[in-house]
Amino acid sequence: MQIGIPTESIHGEHRVAATPETVKKLIHAGHQVVLERGAGTKAAYLDESYLQVGAKITEDAYQGSDIILKVRAPQGAEIQKLPQDSCVIALFDPYRNPELEQFAAQQVNAFALELLPRTLSRAQNMDVLSSQANLAGYKAVLLAANAYQRMFPMLMTAAGTVKPARVVVMGVGVAGLQAIATAKRLGAVVEATDLRPTAKDQVESLGGKWLDVPMSAEEQDRANEAAKNGYGWMPGEQYIQDQALIVDKAVANADIVITTALLPGRDAPRLIQAETVAKMKPGSVIVDMAVETGGNVAGSECGKTVITANGVHILGVPNIPATVATEASALYARNVYNFLETLFDADQKFALNQDDEIQKALLITHAGQVLLKRG
């Protein structure tokens, strides 16, 4: 089959969906791979490196391709380029994407990588959300360190002692854990909070301090149940009030705050109110990693650094993984390759199987229909 790798069209998207490493594997399996000219350049993968492993360079990777691999789903006129009955594997932002009907009308099999069942052990090596969040958590700390006009570690000098930075991480998923680890490596004092009480041990294993919020037995059970799918839960009113007080105090005393909370298919939860930001010290930095879906922080703006009246810098950097595009592409491409393998049988013949729990979960358009239920 012909597998096409188009150039990403969204502004600021520097990643590429296949690297020379994964292209070599696809060609070895008997597939033809065509790469749109310059598709990997922004991620430091030059056309020559793809040619060396057997790929062909083209001006239009959609033409004649049976399978399209992208980071971000095709948009607008790109959808019209998709051959009938072709497959597209990408990040679709499926619950917010207004163009799913166009994919269906084009008779395209669309696979949304965000919908991977994360509780399946055999799906772990396909989990693009985790691989990209890991890098984002690391880079978020570096972005904060760059904006912060003091030091992260404690320094003892002849001119006096420099106190370590106080970092608060809100949301202890993959991104949050990596942020904790990175901030600790830079010498900061780190505190963290999450709606999942099971995250406490993970935080403390990385050297962070757990911001504990009292929880009833009923809430404990609900939180434990939600933790099984790796996402948050909706706490009761008393818990929300108690958490707000603890968070308010920790954030007000922090030098750097990193927020990572996302909810699938919904706007990001508001974790930090304007009143709390107003209590922070001048020069403090907040990195809102959820800024693309509404933001965790009052006042954050996508693509901008907002400086408040009291001198707090709120960084609304979108698509943080694309700022480390070389490594992000390498991990993403491996995830995609691992999923792509499920679409072929032992003889490398295409075998769409809607009884397969992974394929079924990811397939959002098929045979002219939108399969995704968006409530």
H or E segment to which residue 209 belongs: strand 209-210
Cα–Cα distance for residue pair 231/218, rounded to 1 Å: 18
Domain boundary residue among 301, 318, 335? Answer: 318
Residues labelled catalytic:
118, 124, 127, 130, 231
Nearest to residue 343, comparing CAs of 157, 58, 61, 66? 66
Residue 227 is predicted with a pLDDT of 63
Instruction: Kindly state the DSSP code that residue 287 receives in the 8-state scheme.
Output: E
**Is 143 contained in some domain?**
no
Q: Are residues 115 and 215 in the same domain?
A: no
Q: Is 347 helix (H, G, I), strand (E, B) or coil?
A: coil
Q: Are residues 22 and 111 in the same domain?
A: yes
Cα–Cα distance for residue pair 256/204, rounded to 1 Å: 19
Here the tokens at position 160 are 């006096």
Domain boundary residue among 299, 318, 337? Answer: 318
Q: 2-5 and 32-36: which strand pairing?
A: parallel
Mean pLDDT, 10 residues at a time, the chain of 375 residues: 97 97 97 98 98 98 98 97 97 95 97 92 94 98 97 89 94 96 98 87 96 78 66 68 86 97 87 95 98 96 98 98 98 98 90 92 96 83
Cα–Cα distance for residue pair 344/338, rounded to 1 Å: 11
Contact (CB, 8 A) for 132 and 155: no
Nearest to residue 86, comparing CAs of 350, 334, 332? 350
Q: Are residues 273 and 359 in the same domain?
A: no
Q: Are residues 274 and 337 in the same domain?
A: no
Q: Are residues 208 and 287 in the same domain?
A: yes
Strand-pairing partners, residue 31, are none
Strand-pairing partners, residue 350, are 344
Q: Are residues 204 and 105 in the same domain?
A: no
Domain boundary residue among 318, 336, 353? Answer: 318
Q: How many domains does the chain have?
A: 2
**Is 139 contained in some domain?**
no
Residue 230 is predicted with a pLDDT of 53
Extract long-range pairs of 279-283: CB within 8 Å, 24+ residues apart: 279/248, 279/251, 279/252, 280/251, 280/252, 280/254, 280/310, 280/312, 281/255, 281/311, 281/312, 282/310, 282/311, 282/312, 283/148, 283/149, 283/150, 283/255, 283/311, 283/312, 283/313
Q: Are residues 153 and 299 in the same domain?
A: yes
Q: Are residues 183 and 303 in the same domain?
A: yes
Q: Are residues 212 and 332 in the same domain?
A: no
- Adjacency order of strands within the sheet including 166-170: 209-210, 189-193, 166-170, 256-259, 285-288, 313-315, 305-307
Q: Are residues 361 and 284 in the same domain?
A: no
Give helix then strand counts, H and E, for the chain.
12, 17
**Is 16 contained in some domain?**
yes
H or E segment to which residue 286 belongs: strand 285-288
Question: Model-level pTM?
Answer: 0.92
Cα–Cα distance for residue pair 138/260, rounded to 1 Å: 12
Residue 7 is predicted with a pLDDT of 98
Structural domain containing residue 29: 2-126+325-369
**Is 142 contained in some domain?**
no
Count of Cβ atoms closer than 10 Å to residue 303 Cβ? 12
Q: Are residues 154 and 289 in the same domain?
A: yes
The DSSP annotation for 294-332 comes to T-SBTT--TT-EEE-TT--EEE----GGGGGHHHHHHHH
For the four alpha carbons of 215, 218, 219 and 220, in that order, the dihedral sign comes to positive
Cα–Cα distance for residue pair 179/138, rounded to 1 Å: 5
Cα–Cα distance for residue pair 268/204, rounded to 1 Å: 26
CATH number of the domain bearing residue 293 = 3.40.50.720
**Is 140 contained in some domain?**
no
Residue 303 is predicted with a pLDDT of 97
Q: Is 373 helix (H, G, I), strand (E, B) or coil?
A: coil
Q: Are residues 122 and 267 in the same domain?
A: no
Q: 313-315 and 285-288: which strand pairing?
A: parallel
Residue 263 is predicted with a pLDDT of 85
